[in-house]
A and B are shown apart, each in its own frame.
Chain A
């Protein structure tokens, strides 16, 4: 150790007589002061820690903190949809304001539910779930919150926690038929057949002849081995709702089980003629789509509801157009849903006025003009569609057909070959190719193409007839 260090060490070391110079009272005072300082420091440190968790403004009720904590934070992507960020910010601000102002629970719950609606309509399911959870806690007498929470949970496959929510919904609003159907299906899929039957019966009591309830009761009958009851249920339901394909389809299965192949085939034929299964209307859920700011989602649902609920489909379309009046996709969808070819043509032309290179608009308008016989303009549009990337089988197919009408058979054939390469399993494309081959005098190849159509679509009348003509010729 150097001299300087020694000096510092000596300076820190009290002299042997130092303690004796401080009396007992002074020592006591010093210790008391130290303890006091320690107490103050402990209280200050604890308070500092508490400020990290206490976000409740001074004067707020204690419960407000937990309610505020339950409000979902807006997502980072909130501004991805124009208008959505502003709507969420406003709904979120009002909800938090109501909580801080200690508004009545049902008022806060209502606002939380509305925020949940906004999230659900814009496909933020987890945030909607948080909003509905808060809403159903604070406003338990409103059946919509429990129902919408149940709906959100079942969307992602949950069943067990859904049951009490649906039971609560129907207890509050026994007249809401979609809730009975959801409850019935939920219980059926959990293997609780008797509660399922009771719920289906309640729906039927509300909506006599309801095909969804009849379908469910028929499935229950099959599960219990009572095929005769299933048949009776289905035939009764078909009498009142003959347009519901699912009834015919399940009846076909019943006939198959009974060993009645002709009746089975007839039921299947009717089902296939009617089309696909569709979900039962659910106004509390369906109407939410109208709060969407996602123009693509709105347009998708315009198509989905076009046949199920024309008014809702129109509402969704109007909202999409209001949100994006210069979005060409809006007018492409319009063109696909109007009733006449002229209206469709005007819609596609409007889409192209906003984006002259819109691939789908070019393709659709080109296909439409090809159908209407304006082959030269059709070729122009379809070739432009291809230039901008709409290289679909359909574009090549209609291009080929239009080119053939202009006498450009070689180009037409090349286009059809492209169509076949892109959709090798599409019978229509093969049929068009057969038509061109026949026009080109390549009859063997035309026959082969027709046979391919029949492979893909056994029994196709046009192809069968054309093949017979070729064979005969």
Chain B
């Protein structure tokens, strides 16, 4: 149908009015408010959003994301002090097991998974006073998995030289012989394996928290279970010493988080032959920052290794409790051993974090446990995740308010359903003692929990 010239003119005039009149009104108002027109338009169009709208993802996540289930030994008469958990197929039967450090019984526990999905805990090796960290590794390269143990000697503050580096040597039938590789040193908090001098055997990176006296060393494997120590740093408060190729040159470097009054993260750059150069890659000037742990992961999936870092330690507060600055951050590896600090978010009592694609959307989210939240508050979370929006923007989503005092976290697809599950360990060093746990398996039920409007 053809339109007359008059009708076309009328339509054009109407269109002009619809555009020009609002523009004139907005321009005038923008001038009055000393703002740009685009700023004001943005405010007008954005002001209709409901900031309090319920996030469907959050509600779904809160509903059934992770189903907790106690595994291993039941609660005993005393408060559980689980200082570390890790996941490994220790007996190489195709099922992922859990290994734990129990600082109450002073044992390393192997929580073996059987084909029916049951978990049974078996103490392994001899008594080890206050084990702080257990790392599975074929230290002697004989094909089975040994257990490296960092022995603190005492969990609570102590300056005495009561730490040890111990290996529980596996005979291939999961019978373990205790070998003490280093003894009578400041409390040991981490032992990590790696061929640090390029000679084909497994050396060790050792972190010693001590209390006021501590240090970092690497132990060169001389063969026949003999190791020679090389000092790297003489500061107290080292918690973790993970090993990875942080500068991308093909050899293994050592990262370390040093807490106490220092609150620093170091990288010891390896020249490939076991000669290390120290780099201070980050330091907080808050001497009460409360560094509590680091783990290494390519969080932004750009091909290099970043540092995931929690601060929420409150072991020596009376009473133990959170601080407003507790939370999670990552140190982005920008190359050349330069790292950029990026805060992920606040989380009171944050103790350890893992990078896991929990929702299988292709990016890495951050799961974090709290050992020192304000447990008297009804909404104090002990487990939460920061959901990654794919552009390294993170949104905190609490997952559990009990059990409380979660200090240790590990992740793996334990039930082989394609979704990464979690394992936590609790250390109940302070009240309240009404929501206790020891070791908890958190089955990932994301796939069984369709998100509103997405129908996964």
Report if A and B associate in a common complex: yes
Q: Which residues of A are interface residues toward B (Cβ below 8 A)? A: 27, 31, 34-35, 38-39, 42-43, 45-47, 49-50, 52-54, 56, 62-63, 65-66, 123-125, 154-160, 162, 182, 185-186, 188-191, 223, 245-246, 249, 252-253, 256-257, 268, 271-272, 276-277, 279, 300, 303, 389, 421-422, 424-426, 455-458
B residues less than 8 Å from A45 (CB atoms): 22
Report yes or no: A277 in contact with B260, Cβ–Cβ below 8 A.
Answer: yes
Report yes or no: A277 in contact with B261, Cβ–Cβ below 8 A.
Answer: yes
Provided the pairs A157-B286, A245-B212 are in contact, do residues A421 and B77 lie with their beta carbons within 8 angstroms? yes
A residues less than 8 Å from B283 (CB atoms): 159, 185, 188-190
With contacts A154-B284, A156-B286 known, what are 17 further pairs, Cβ within 8 A? A31-B10, A38-B14, A43-B25, A46-B21, A50-B40, A53-B47, A62-B33, A156-B325, A157-B343, A160-B341, A162-B285, A185-B283, A185-B285, A268-B213, A271-B213, A300-B318, A458-B160
B449 at the interface (CB under 8 A from A): no
A257 to B233, CA, bound (A): 10
Report yes or no: B78 in contact with A421, Cβ–Cβ below 8 A.
Answer: yes
Most chain-A Cβ atoms within 10 A of its Cβ — which of B35, B161, B283? B283
Interface residues on B, range: 35 or more
Q: Is the interface of A mostly helix, strand, loop or mixed?
A: helix
B296 at the interface (CB under 8 A from A): no
Contact indicator per residue, chain B 332-343, by CB within 8 Å of chain A (1) or not (0): 000000000101
Provided the pairs A46-B21, A50-B29 are in contact, do residues A189 and B282 lie with their beta carbons within 8 angstroms? yes
Provided the pairs A157-B311, A157-B343, A158-B341 are in contact, do residues A56 and B33 lie with their beta carbons within 8 angstroms? yes
B130 at the interface (CB under 8 A from A): yes
B324 at the interface (CB under 8 A from A): yes
With both chains docked as a complex, state the minimum distance between the C-beta of B69 and any C-beta of chain A, in angstroms: 27
Report yes or no: A425 in contact with B156, Cβ–Cβ below 8 A.
Answer: yes
B155 at the interface (CB under 8 A from A): yes
Report yes or no: A425 in contact with B154, Cβ–Cβ below 8 A.
Answer: yes
Contact partner of A249 (CB less than 8 A), chosen from B77, B212, B324, is B212
Top 6 closest pairs, chain A to chain B, by CB: A189-B283, A62-B34, A253-B234, A46-B22, A42-B21, A277-B261
With both chains docked as a complex, state the minimum distance between the C-beta of B97 and any C-beta of chain A, in angstroms: 27
Report yes or no: B285 in contact with A189, Cβ–Cβ below 8 A.
Answer: yes
B122 at the interface (CB under 8 A from A): no
With both chains docked as a complex, state the minimum distance between the C-beta of A425 and any C-beta of chain B, in angstroms: 4
A residues less than 8 Å from B153 (CB atoms): 456
B273 at the interface (CB under 8 A from A): no
Most chain-A Cβ atoms within 10 A of its Cβ — which of B33, B44, B329? B33
A53 to B45, CA, bound (A): 9
A65 to B48, CA, bound (A): 18
Most chain-B Cβ atoms within 10 A of its Cβ — which of A50, A157, A268, A425? A157
Report yes or no: B287 in contact with A277, Cβ–Cβ below 8 A.
Answer: yes
B280 at the interface (CB under 8 A from A): yes
A residues less than 8 Å from B288 (CB atoms): 279
Contact indicator per residue, chain B 104-124, by CB within 8 Å of chain A (1) or not (0): 101000000000000000000
Report yes or no: A125 in contact with B324, Cβ–Cβ below 8 A.
Answer: yes
What are 5 A-to-B residue pairs whose CB atoms are below 8 Å? A42-B18, A43-B21, A62-B33, A186-B285, A253-B235
Report yes or no: A456 in contact with B285, Cβ–Cβ below 8 A.
Answer: no
B residues less than 8 Å from A34 (CB atoms): 10, 14
Provided the pairs A155-B324, A425-B156, A457-B160 are in contact, do residues A38 and B285 lie with their beta carbons within 8 angstroms? no
Closest to B329 in A: A157
Provided the pairs A52-B44, A249-B213 are in contact, do residues A63 and B311 lie with their beta carbons within 8 angstroms? no
Report yes or no: A50 in contact with B26, Cβ–Cβ below 8 A.
Answer: yes
Report yes or no: A38 in contact with B286, Cβ–Cβ below 8 A.
Answer: no
A50 to B40, CA, bound (A): 8
A32 to B268, CA, bound (A): 80
Provided the pairs A277-B260, A458-B161 are in contact, do residues A50 and B25 lie with their beta carbons within 8 angstroms? yes
A300 to B18, CA, bound (A): 64
A residues less than 8 Å from B25 (CB atoms): 43, 46-47, 50
A119 to B160, CA, bound (A): 41
Closest to A69 in B: B43
Report yes or no: B212 in contact with A271, Cβ–Cβ below 8 A.
Answer: yes
A residues less than 8 Å from B156 (CB atoms): 425-426
A222 to B346, CA, bound (A): 34
B410 at the interface (CB under 8 A from A): no
Report yes or no: A189 in contact with B264, Cβ–Cβ below 8 A.
Answer: yes
A residues less than 8 Å from B341 (CB atoms): 157-160
A residues less than 8 Å from B284 (CB atoms): 154, 157, 159, 189
B32 at the interface (CB under 8 A from A): yes
A389 to B433, CA, bound (A): 10
Report yes or no: B285 in contact with A458, Cβ–Cβ below 8 A.
Answer: no
A residues less than 8 Å from B260 (CB atoms): 277
B159 at the interface (CB under 8 A from A): yes
B residues less than 8 Å from A52 (CB atoms): 44, 47-48
Contact partner of B154 (CB less than 8 A), chosen from A252, A271, A456, is A456
A276 to B323, CA, bound (A): 20
Report yes or no: B280 in contact with A191, Cβ–Cβ below 8 A.
Answer: yes
Report yes or no: A38 in contact with B18, Cβ–Cβ below 8 A.
Answer: yes
Contact partner of B78 (CB less than 8 A), chosen from A49, A191, A422, is A422
Report yes or no: A156 in contact with B264, Cβ–Cβ below 8 A.
Answer: no
B13 at the interface (CB under 8 A from A): yes
Contact indicator per residue, chain B 307-327, by CB within 8 Å of chain A (1) or not (0): 000010000011000011101
B17 at the interface (CB under 8 A from A): yes
A45 to B25, CA, bound (A): 10
Report yes or no: A458 in contact with B162, Cβ–Cβ below 8 A.
Answer: yes
Most chain-B Cβ atoms within 10 A of its Cβ — which of A46, A249, A425, A456? A425
A residues less than 8 Å from B286 (CB atoms): 154-157
Report yes or no: B21 in contact with A189, Cβ–Cβ below 8 A.
Answer: no
A31 to B10, CA, bound (A): 7
A162 to B341, CA, bound (A): 12
B289 at the interface (CB under 8 A from A): yes
Report yes or no: B130 in contact with A425, Cβ–Cβ below 8 A.
Answer: yes
Report yes or no: B213 in contact with A252, Cβ–Cβ below 8 A.
Answer: yes
A residues less than 8 Å from B29 (CB atoms): 50, 54
Contact partner of B33 (CB less than 8 A), chosen from A54, A185, A455, is A54
With both chains docked as a complex, state the minimum distance between the C-beta of B105 and any C-beta of chain A, in angstroms: 9
A139 to B378, CA, bound (A): 40
Closest to B104 in A: A424
B residues less than 8 Å from A47 (CB atoms): 25
Report yes or no: B17 in contact with A38, Cβ–Cβ below 8 A.
Answer: yes
B residues less than 8 Å from A162 (CB atoms): 285
Provided the pairs A186-B285, A245-B212, A277-B287 are in contact, do residues A53 and B234 lie with their beta carbons within 8 angstroms? no
